[in-house]
């Protein structure tokens, strides 16, 4: 006689659905927690990188200012509005090796190797040559580095003719147009032009100093020959490369072209 077999009871459909629902709720909660922790980690990492970059910049600034000479280092102070201080800060030290007539041979030792390489043996600042015409070309937010240079040239008493071209996509992108217009009214040697690349039309009330097109082409259209110009450029790499390729063919020598290209840092 065979013994009776006991059938094992399985899970009902309700039990399976309930278990899956509980697992889904737990999984959603864990996913949300992990995403929140990832965002917090990224936020904290970004904050640490920002603080590190700020400390590095401050250390460089403090180091440079410590090298300012106590006698003759500060050349000018805006005592009226306290907006600017001009200081002479060395970027390199030289040892005289030999002299031959009017020539001087020096061995240069940089203060900081990275800064010295970035300066490209010239830097980006206004030159005080006695001849030539200043021409400033800014693309987008390129006005930021040119602003202090323009102010230095104007408020420093320079009487050289200055042509400033500001290229932007739309009128709203020319965020300090009123300031430059005030400078143009105050200093007759300053000529200001806004060039809009994506605007469909120019406001008729502003047509005297606005036009459509590309900023570097507008400057060349006004000044076909650049033999007597000193050109300063700040903006995106495409603008800088276009100017480096075309302006020398119009008579601009390499030592009179100064640029600040907004390149991305290498990854």
Structure tokens at 15: 């039990």
First to last CA, the chain: 81
Dist CA 237 CA 140 (whole Å): 11
Dist CA 256 CA 109 (whole Å): 25
Q: What is the pLDDT of residues 169-225, one digit of tens each?
A: 888 888 888 888 999 999 988 889 999 988 888 877 777 888 899 988 999 999 888
User: What is the span of the domain harbouring residue 176?
Assistant: 131-261
Dist CA 89 CA 148 (whole Å): 17
Instruction: With beta carbons less than 8 A apart as the criterion, state whether 137 and 215 touch.
Output: yes
Q: What is the pLDDT of residue 21?
A: 92
According to DSSP, residue 169 is labeled S
Between 74 and 50, name the one with better pLDDT.
Answer: 50
Looking at the DSSP bridge assignments, the partners of residue 193 are 165
Residue 182 sits at φ, ψ, to 5 deg, of -65, -40
Confidence of residue 92 (pLDDT cuts 50, 70, 90): low
Residue linked to tokens 């143009």? 184
Dist CA 264 CA 267 (whole Å): 9
What percentage of residues in the chain have a pLDDT greater than 70? 65
Q: What is the pLDDT of residue 122?
A: 40
Map residue 77 onto helix, strand or coil. Answer: strand
In this structure, of 64-78, 103-117, 142-156, 240-254, the range with the lowest mean pLDDT score is 103-117
CATH number of the domain encompassing residue 238:
3.40.50.80
Structure tokens at 237: 């790499």
Q: How many domains does the chain fold into?
A: 1
Residue 76 lies in a domain: no
Between 58 and 52, name the one with better pLDDT.
Answer: 52
What number of CA atoms fall less than 13 Å from residue 25's CA on the CB side? 5
Interacting residues of 60 by C-beta distance below 8 A, sequence separation 6+: 112, 115
Confidence of residue 226 (pLDDT cuts 50, 70, 90): confident
Residue 41 lies in a domain: no
Residue 161 lies in a domain: yes
Is the pTM for the entire model greater than 0.85? no
Dist CA 46 CA 55 (whole Å): 14
Residue 235 lies in a domain: yes
pLDDT surpasses 70 at 43: yes
Helices (H), the chain: 13-66, 113-119, 143-155, 177-186, 215-222, 237-246
Confidence of residue 104 (pLDDT cuts 50, 70, 90): low
Residue 169 lies in a domain: yes
């Amino acid at each position: 006689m065979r013994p009776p077999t006991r059938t094992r009871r399985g899970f009902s459909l309700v039990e399976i659905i309930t278990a899956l629902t509980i697992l889904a709720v737990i999984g959603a909660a864990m996913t949300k927690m992990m995403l929140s922790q990832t965002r917090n980690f990224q936020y904290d990492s970004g904050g640490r990188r920002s603080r590190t970059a700020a400390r590095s910049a401050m250390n460089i600034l403090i180091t440079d200012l410590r090298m300012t000479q106590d006698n003759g280092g500060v050349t000018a102070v805006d005592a009226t509005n306290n907006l600017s201080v001009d200081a002479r800060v060395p970027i390199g030290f030289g040892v005289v090796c030999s002299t031959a007539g009017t020539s001087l041979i020096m061995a240069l030792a940089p203060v900081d190797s990275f800064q010295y390489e970035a300066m490209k043996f010239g830097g980006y600042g206004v030159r005080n040559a006695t001849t030539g015409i200043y021409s400033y070309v800014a693309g987008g937010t390129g006005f930021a580095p040119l602003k202090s240079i323009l102010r230095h040239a104007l408020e420093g008493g320079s009487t050289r003719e200055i042509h400033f071209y500001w290229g932007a996509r739309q009128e709203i992108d020319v965020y300090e147009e009123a300031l430059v217009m005030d400078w143009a009214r105050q200093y007759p040697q300053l000529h200001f032009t806004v060039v809009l690349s994506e605007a469909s039309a120019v406001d008729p009330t502003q047509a005297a100093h606005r036009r459509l097109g590309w900023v570097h082409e507008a400057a060349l259209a006004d000044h076909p020959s650049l033999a007597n110009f000193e050109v300063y450029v700040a903006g995106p790499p495409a603008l800088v490369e276009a100017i480096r390729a075309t302006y020398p063919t119009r008579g601009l020598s390499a030592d009179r072209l100064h640029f600040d290209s907004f390149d991305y840092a290498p990854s």
